[in-house]
């Protein structure tokens, strides 16, 4: 730290806040500690009586907090993201589109474990809307060793920590099982719920069919939608272990790869996720348990955004939903601003 004349301070870093007092109007910092003085700042500094300043001397191998924050930004920022101005060594990222927010958790942990720097974000694998805040990052001290920032870049090599996957337009077929519906004994109330949830994304419902409990017929209807160009098929009902519940077997008989039958989520334990391969594409086939029809939020709300963003779902990821997988059925539902599905 050294004292210099204010008129020669451009490019130097302030060691302390500079306070401005305007009677009846303002008393507060006009420049914060760590601010890099610009030419246009000099008249303002002189106007508050600062003819001399204490500034940091640039030392080889030492970075100012703003320089470090810019490195963190480069580590984190990806396509479809905007950044804030640097303020006191902090930068924030916001979403420029609606989509699915993804985090490379290993990289995030590795960088945060280095010390003297931090990156904080919202939960990954959840939807974000244009303008939503995604993450904030900053350097903790006023200055940091350049070598430590090199280690941060090394920890995050291979691509940014964060990603937004845009939703894809999808044509969806709905296969509603159950003889009670196919015979007209009761009215289907499942389909409207599915259409409402799909309506939150860029989807077109191709149609809804009612094959009853005939396993071969269910398989035929699923494959028929795929042949018609469906990007996803949703099967409702028939997902439990009762003898007449044939949907899991029917999905398997399509030749699709079963990722998981069952998930540690309540409501929604009987979820089935499968992928059918056709012309180089993996077409999701989803078997939904009855709870999706009547519960406010279920496992379907956790997997649907990922399916709409073509984010492949793995068995291990479903297994990891156990912690946080219990919906508390709050009187006033605040999902996704709650702990449901956020155990990792």
In a shared domain, residues 290 and 236: yes
In a shared domain, residues 161 and 174: no
Cis upstream peptide for 235 (omega within 30°): no
In a shared domain, residues 33 and 100: no
Phi, psi angles (nearest 5°) of residue 39: -55, -40
Residue 337: partners with Cβ closer than 8 Å, 6 or more residues away: none
CATH number reported for the structural domain that contains residue 301 in this entry: 3.40.980.10
More confident call, 80 vs 63? 80
In the predicted model, is pLDDT for residue 28 greater than 90? no
What angle, 0 to 180 degrees and rounded to 10, lies between the N-to-C axes of helices 105-112 and 146-155?
A: 160
More confident call, 322 vs 55? 322
Note whether residue 328 is domain-resident: no
CATH number reported for the structural domain that contains residue 158 in this entry: 3.90.1170.30
Distance CA(129)–CA(33), nearest Å, equals 34
Note whether residue 195 is domain-resident: yes
Nearest Cα residue to 172 out of 225, 212, 237, 236:
225
Among all chains, which residue has been given the structure tokens 């910092």? Answer: 29
Note whether residue 262 is domain-resident: yes
Note whether residue 75 is domain-resident: yes
In a shared domain, residues 214 and 123: no
Edge-to-edge strand ranges of the sheet holding 281-288:
203-212, 170-177, 232-236, 281-288, 272-278, 257-261
Q: Are 211 and 182 in contact (CB under 8 A)?
A: yes
What pLDDT score does 243 carry?
60
Residue 156: partners with Cβ closer than 8 Å, 6 or more residues away: 75, 76, 104, 107, 110, 111
In a shared domain, residues 97 and 188: no
Q: Among the three residues 137, 166, 195, which one is the final residue of a domain in this structure?
A: 166
- Token pair listed for 218: 């269910």
Note whether residue 43 is domain-resident: yes
Residue-wise pLDDT for 113-142, tens only, equals 999 999 999 999 999 999 999 999 999 987
- Token pair listed for 231: 């990007």
Q: Among the three residues 166, 199, 225, which one is the final residue of a domain in this structure?
A: 166
What pLDDT score does 141 carry?
86
In a shared domain, residues 177 and 48: no
In the predicted model, is pLDDT for residue 26 greater than 80? no
In a shared domain, residues 153 and 191: no
- Token pair listed for 219: 């398989």
What pLDDT score does 291 carry?
93
In a shared domain, residues 257 and 126: no
Q: Are 237 and 178 in contact (CB under 8 A)?
A: yes
- Token pair listed for 167: 């939703």
54 pLDDT tier (thresholds 50, 70, 90) = confident
In the predicted model, is pLDDT for residue 310 greater than 70? yes
With 0-12 CB in 10 A as exposed, 13-18 as middle and 19+ as buried, what is 104?
Answer: middle
In a shared domain, residues 290 and 183: yes
Note whether residue 123 is domain-resident: yes
- Mean pLDDT, all residues of the chain: 92
Beta pairing partners, 83: 93
What pLDDT score does 244 carry?
58
Provide mean pLDDT across the span 12-41.
Answer: 82
Gyration radius of the chain's alpha carbons = 28
The count of structural domains within the chain is 3
- Which stretches does DSSP call E strand in 1-128? 2-5, 13-14, 18-22, 26-31, 52-56, 62-64, 81-83, 90-95, 99-103, 117-121, 126-128
Instruction: Say whether 143 sits in a helix, a strand or coil.
Output: strand
Q: Among the three residues 166, 197, 229, which one is the final residue of a domain in this structure?
A: 166
Q: What is the pTM of this model?
A: 0.85
Does the CA dihedral 85-86-90-93 come out positive or negative? positive
What pLDDT score does 56 carry?
76
In the predicted model, is pLDDT for residue 328 greater than 80? yes
In a shared domain, residues 174 and 310: yes
- What is the domain extent for residue 272? 170-322
- Percentage of the chain beyond pLDDT 90 is 75
Residue-wise pLDDT for 210-236, tens only, equals 999 899 999 999 999 999 999 999 999
What pLDDT score does 1 carry?
65
Q: Length of the chain, please?
A: 344
In the predicted model, is pLDDT for residue 304 greater than 80? yes
In the predicted model, is pLDDT for residue 86 greater than 90? no
25 pLDDT tier (thresholds 50, 70, 90) = confident
In a shared domain, residues 193 and 316: yes
In a shared domain, residues 315 and 210: yes
CATH number reported for the structural domain that contains residue 42 in this entry: 3.90.105.10
Helix (H) or strand (E) holding 206: strand 203-212
Provide mean pLDDT across the span 168-197.
Answer: 91
């Amino acid at each position: 730290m050294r004292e210099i004349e204010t008129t020669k301070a451009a490019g130097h870093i302030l060691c302390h806040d500079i306070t401005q007092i305007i009677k009846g109007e303002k008393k507060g910092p006009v420049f914060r500690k760590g601010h890099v003085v610009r030419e246009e700042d000099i008249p303002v500094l002189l106007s508050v009586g600062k003819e001399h300043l204490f500034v940091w001397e640039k030392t080889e191998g030492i970075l100012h907090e703003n320089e470090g924050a810019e490195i963190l930004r480069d580590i984190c920022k990806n396509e479809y993201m905007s950044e804030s101005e640097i303020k006191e060594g902090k930068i924030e990222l916001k979403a420029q589109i609606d989509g699915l927010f993804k985090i490379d958790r290993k990289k995030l942990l590795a960088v945060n474990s280095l010390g003297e720097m931090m990156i904080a974000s919202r939960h990954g694998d959840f939807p974000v809307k244009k303008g939503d805040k995604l993450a904030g990052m900053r350097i903790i001290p006023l200055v940091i060793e350049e070598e430590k920032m090199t280690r941060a870049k090394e920890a995050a090599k291979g691509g940014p920590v964060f990603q937004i996957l845009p939703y894809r337009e999808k044509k969806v077929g709905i296969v509603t099982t159950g003889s009670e519906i196919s015979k007209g004994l009761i009215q289907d109330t499942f389909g409207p719920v599915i259409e409402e949830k799909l309506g939150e994304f860029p989807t077109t419902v191709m149609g809804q069919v009612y094959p009853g409990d005939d396993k071969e017929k269910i398989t035929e209807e699923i494959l028929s939608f795929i042949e018609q160009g469906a990007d996803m098929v949703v099967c409702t009902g028939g997902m439990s272990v009762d003898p007449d519940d044939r949907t899991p077997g029917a999905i398997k008989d399509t030749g699709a790869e079963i990722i998981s039958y069952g998930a540690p989520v309540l409501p929604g334990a009987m979820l089935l996720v499968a992928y059918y391969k056709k012309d180089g594409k993996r077409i999701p086939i989803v078997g939904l348990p009855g709870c999706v029809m009547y519960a406010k939020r279920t496992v379907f709300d956790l997997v649907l955004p990922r399916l709409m963003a073509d984010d492949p779902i793995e068995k291990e990821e479903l297994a990891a939903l156990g912690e946080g997988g219990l919906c508390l059925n709050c009187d006033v539902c605040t999902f996704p601003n709650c702990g449901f599905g956020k155990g990792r």
